[in-house]
């Protein structure tokens, strides 16, 4: 990021930290303390947008002039939100519900900088290949998907479950980098060169 810009990632997600680190941006991570309970009847897009805003606002109020980046990702199948599984049994149930079908990954993305606020939602369609129960059980047993919405990690062993995606791959990991770059530019900040 430009010299003099303090960047704060409002997230405890290791995947989001890894993605920002890969961009070469110096940043601090601050875990926001918010209630992530969905509201009755809340649509998936509204939920991830609201939670991203709440995360950004809760950290920005303490961080002064820092560029605050917050995100919230949900996996959606037939308008049903698939959160993080409570146990491996629930993880298996989610994997079986996704096999051979297309679902959506939505990420609410919120930036705060010098009293400016930008909010967006990125959408990616992911198709799982058909799986038999043995393959689904083997993946669920790895535990890789336990702390991830939808019970899988596209950047890990879960990549073997996915036959195609339409949209930003990094959105499925948890931080839509193309959208993030556009929003940073919209705030008037220069992006660092990824080649130096």
* Predicted confidence (pLDDT) per residue in 175-190, tens digit: 999 999 999 999 988 7
Q: How far apart are CA 155 and CA 15, in angstroms?
A: 9
Place of tokens 């996915």: 162
Q: Where are the domains of the chain?
A: 7-186
* Predicted confidence (pLDDT) per residue in 89-105, tens digit: 999 999 999 999 999 99
Task: State the pLDDT confidence band at 160, using cuts at 50, 70 and 90.
Answer: very high
| Non-local CB neighbours of 97 within 8 Å, separated by 6+ positions | 77, 82
pTM strictly above 0.85: yes
Burial class (CB in 10 A: 0-12, 13-18, 19+), 140: buried
Q: How far apart are the first and last CA of the chain?
A: 13
* Predicted confidence (pLDDT) per residue in 72-84, tens digit: 999 999 989 998 9
The pair of structure tokens assigned to 152 is: 């899988």
Q: Which of 6, 35, 57, 72 is catalytic?
A: 72
Among residues 182, 179, 185, 163, the alpha carbon closest in space to that of 73 is found at 179
Residue 72 designated active-site: yes
Task: State the pLDDT confidence band at 128, using cuts at 50, 70 and 90.
Answer: very high
CATH code matching the domain that covers 7-186, chosen among 3.60.10.10, 3.40.50.80, 1.10.540.10, 3.90.950.10: 3.90.950.10
Q: How far apart are CA 86 and CA 124, in angstroms?
A: 24
Mean pLDDT of 114-141: 96
């Amino acid at each position: 990021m430009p010299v003099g810009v303090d960047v704060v990632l409002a997230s405890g997600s290791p995947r989001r930290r890894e993605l920002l680190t890969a961009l070469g941006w110096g940043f601090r991570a601050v875990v926001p303390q918010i209630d992530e309970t969905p509201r009755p009847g809340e649509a998936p897009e509204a939920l991830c947008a609201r939670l991203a805003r709440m995360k950004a606002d809760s950290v920005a109020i303490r961080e002064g002039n820092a560029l605050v980046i917050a995100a919230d990702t949900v996996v959606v199948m037939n308008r049903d939100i698939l959160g993080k599984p409570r146990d491996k049994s629930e993880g298996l149930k989610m994997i079986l519900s996704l096999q051979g079908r297309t679902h959506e990954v939505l990420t609410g993305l919120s930036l705060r900088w010098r009293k400016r606020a930008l909010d967006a939602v990125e959408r990616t369609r992911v198709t799982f290949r058909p799986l038999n129960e043995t393959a689904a059980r083997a993946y669920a047993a790895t535990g890789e998907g336990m702390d991830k919405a939808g019970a899988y990690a596209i950047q890990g062993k879960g990549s073997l479950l996915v036959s195609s995606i339409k949209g930003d791959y990094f959105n499925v990991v948890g931080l839509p980098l193309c959208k993030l770059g556009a929003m940073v530019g919209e705030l008037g900040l220069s992006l660092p060169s990824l080649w130096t």
